Amino acid sequence: MERCPEPELMDDAEQARAYAQADFSRAHQAVVALFQRRFGNVAGIALDLGCGPGDVTIRFARAYPELHLLGIDGSEAMLAEGRQAVAALGLAHQITLERRFLPDPTLPAAAFDVVVSNSLLHHLSDPAALWRAVRHAARAGAPVLVVDLCRAESPEAARALTAEHAAGAPEVLARDFYNSLLAAYTVAEVTQQLAAAGLGSLHAETTDELHLAVWGHAPARA
């Protein structure tokens, strides 16, 4: 099935609130668990690209108390939710959230010891924006983990997956989930994107019926 893009930013306040209040604990904790299995212990400064309301950022902060995290997102509505959560949990000393829209050439170069991203890639009409950011911001050898949905085989398959995995979710979220399954990239497309971005040191694979993961160590900057 051809990719069917969805809007990049989630900057509607109602959408951001519904997303921030949804229970993504299983999927989000799985991202942290996958990172821990692949990379073990880490410290330093981490970058979370497309952090949204910061739930994954917060989970990384809790798993790695030595890590400082910068979460960036282009949506002020999402960041407002995230800042509230970070303050309420007393994690402001460990997490900073900044409004930045990718592509962003002003991101500090080779400055991050870890780069992660969850569920951003499928929003991007130009996926190279994410891979350029990884290449630019990660220091050589930094652990990188990018997790996203895989594109469904057909609209019917996307409907079935939505019925199974978004049952009982608010309508705005179920609709987003369905649209995301149509907008996501395939492992083959991501593998091509990585090669084109000079990120052949990263490996893309499916992790379950919904997700793909890209992981590995960042190369030295060209």
Give every CB contact of residue 9 below 8 A, 6+ residues apart in sequence.
74, 75, 101, 123
Give 62 or 141: the residue with its C-beta nearer to ligand SAM.
Answer: 62
C-alpha of 10 from chain center: 13
User: For residues 117-146, which are near ligand SAM according to CB under 6 A?
Assistant: 118-120, 123-124
Give 9 or 160: the residue with its C-beta nearer to ligand SAM.
Answer: 9
- Residue number with the shortest CB distance to ligand SAM? 52
CB of 175 to ligand SAM, least distance (A): 13
78 binds ligand SAM per the rule CB under 6 A: yes
Span from 35-43, 51-59, 136-144, 208-216 in contact with ligand SAM (CB under 6 A): 51-59
Give 118 or 162: the residue with its C-beta nearer to ligand SAM.
Answer: 118
- What letters, b where the CB count within 10 A reaches 16 and e where it falls short, cover 69-104? bbbbbbbebbbbbbbebbeeeebeebbebeebebeb
94 binds ligand SAM per the rule CB under 6 A: no
15 binds ligand SAM per the rule CB under 6 A: no
- How far is the C-alpha of 215 from the C-alpha of 194, rounded, in Å? 11
Give 51 or 190: the residue with its C-beta nearer to ligand SAM.
Answer: 51
Write the secondary structure of 77-123 as one string of H (helix), E (strand) and C (coil): HHHHHHHHHHHHCCCCCCEEEEECCCCCCCCCCCCECEEEEECCHHH
- How far is the C-alpha of 94 from the C-alpha of 68, rounded, in Å? 5
- How far is the C-alpha of 18 from the C-alpha of 12, rounded, in Å? 10
CB of 120 to ligand SAM, least distance (A): 4
CB of 220 to ligand SAM, least distance (A): 25
Please select the residue that binds ligand SAM; options are 3, 8, 17, 18, rule is CB under 6 A: 8
Please select the residue that binds ligand SAM; options are 102, 107, 173, 199, rule is CB under 6 A: 102
**SS3 state of residue 29:** helix
- How far is the C-alpha of 47 from the C-alpha of 73, rounded, in Å? 11
Binding-site ranges for ligand SAM (CB under 6 A): 8-10, 50-52, 55-56, 73-75, 78, 101-102, 118-120, 123-124
